[in-house]
Amino acid sequence: SQPRARDRETIRAPLSIPARALGMSSSSAAASVPGATPADALRRNRIISSKLYFDVPGSKAPVVYSTAYDIAFLGIEKMHPFDSSKWGRICRFLTKEGHLEKTRVVEPLEASKEDLLVVHTEAYLNSLRSSFRVAAIVEVPPLTLMPNWLVQQRLLYPFRKQVGGSILSAKLALERGWAINVGGGFHHCSAEEGGGFCAYADISLSIQFAFVRLDISRVMIIDLDAHQGNGHEKDFANDGRVYILDMYNAGIYPFDHAAKRYIDQKVELVSGTETDDYLDQLDKALKVAQTRFQPQLIIYNAGTDILDGDPLGNLKISPEGVVIRDEKVFRFAKDQNIPLVMMTSGGYMKSSARVIADSITNLSQKNLVQLGSQPD
């Protein structure tokens, strides 16, 4: 596919959000950079004052997870095909099989409202106070009947912890060369709209934090979830600092044709695509991406809903194919010495956790990640 129509030599300003939407009561905040609007300055100040970045000792692996990621909600969570205990099961596989010690896992902080306002509008965050609205976003109608304090505690709090994990993982990747958030990848959520089980835009937030705190200006998103990543595509529609490679099944949700205009490199698959064809198309796509854009950070959205049998992805990729896919992306980054963050994103079968754990184990065996301890 052709690059989206915008000047790649021009570094454009980040997503512009009105000061009122950001919750700004006055324009007293001085701009930290020339030409910045009061809203830009407020966003920057929020990022600088955030507690989500903290120092992680070398005795920890850059693998981010909290038991708070997992969702248990009176059994209601089982009404959506997503395995809401997937994240914990991945870590248990890795620790029980001796690949990763529990003490080496990094626990993130919960993203606060001020953190979320870096990307989200005040109006959108306020809308999550409606259980009806949250039920629509996560596609579980019975949530409508639940008091919102319970929805916040049992569902949105785990999501906010995962957002904190995605943001911290970018910092760890710049320090260590790679990081894995055993969660996150909520790629259907944008600044003003959630959907598809995605309530917060963790990919956009992670990148905006990295621009300010990590002093980088070029990020590549490699989105290999089975679904189009329409959330981050809308958020970075006019931001030339972000290059998006999205390889997805064009015959399934979200059918967001407006967002497709903002994909730099789209690979549209058909339902039933099998492993060899999939991996061949990925090889070709990565070669093209390497010639088009030189990022300082890669965000890898590694959804496992491409697996054969997944009820929503409608592709036919074998477990071994997923392991090979992840290895290809990590090698793509390592060969160019580009830090990479992996997020686990979608995957709607119980087998997904096993496949992800096997893939991380393979990455360790191939020396593409190091799960052992490092000296402080």
Helix H, strand E, coil C: the string for 54-67 is CCCCCCCCCEECCH
Q: Which fold has domain 60-366?
A: Arginase; Chain A (3.40.800)
**Can you give the residue ranges of every domain in the chain?**
60-366
Judge residue 367's burial from the number of C-beta atoms within 10 Å of its C-beta, 0-12 exposed, 13-18 middle, 19 or more buried: exposed
Cβ pair 114, 10 in contact under 8 A: no
pLDDT in tens, 294-346: 999 999 999 999 999 999 999 999 999 999 999 999 999 999 999 999 999 99
Hunting for tokens 């999501």 — which residue is that? 159
Strand order of the β-sheet with 219-223 is 63-64, 178-181, 340-343, 297-301, 219-223, 242-249, 265-269
120 included as an active-site residue = no
Tell me 198's DSSP state: B
pLDDT at 83: 73
pLDDT at 13: 33
Q: Which residues of the chain have pLDDT under 70?
A: 1-34, 74-82, 373-376
Q: Which of 188, 227, 232, 257 is catalytic?
A: 188
Pairing of β 178-181 and β 297-301: unpaired
- Measured at the alpha carbon of residue 303, what is the angle toward residues 124 and 69, in degrees to the nearest 5? 60
Give the global pTM.
Answer: 0.90
CA distance 259 to 234: 6
pLDDT at 36: 79
Helix axis angle, 86-96 relative to 351-365, nearest 10°? 40
CA distance 314 to 217: 36
Nearest to 14 by CA among 37, 46, 31, 45: 37
pLDDT at 373: 58
What ranges in the chain are assigned the alpha helix state H? Answer: 38-49, 86-96, 113-116, 122-127, 131-138, 148-151, 157-176, 202-213, 230-235, 257-260, 275-292, 319-335, 351-365
Hunting for tokens 């998103």 — which residue is that? 221
> What is residue 109's three-state secondary structure?
coil
Hunting for tokens 């934090």 — which residue is that? 209
pLDDT at 82: 61
pLDDT in tens, 173-188: 999 999 999 999 999 9
Cβ pair 212, 44 in contact under 8 A: yes
Nearest to 252 by CA among 316, 185, 313: 313
Structure-block tokens of residue 289 = 């991406």
What is the greatest pairwise CA distance in the chain?
57
Q: Return the HEC string of 8-61.
A: CCCCCCCCCCCCCCCCCCCCCCCCCCCCCCHHHHHHHHHHHHCCCCCCCCCCCC
pLDDT at 347: 92
Cis peptide before 254 (omega within 30 of 0): yes
pLDDT at 18: 35
| Residues 207/209/210/215 CA torsion (nearest 10 deg) | 140
Structure-block tokens of residue 207 = 């990148």
Tell me 350's DSSP state: T
CA distance 252 to 168: 31
pLDDT in tens, 97-126: 999 999 999 999 999 999 999 999 999 999
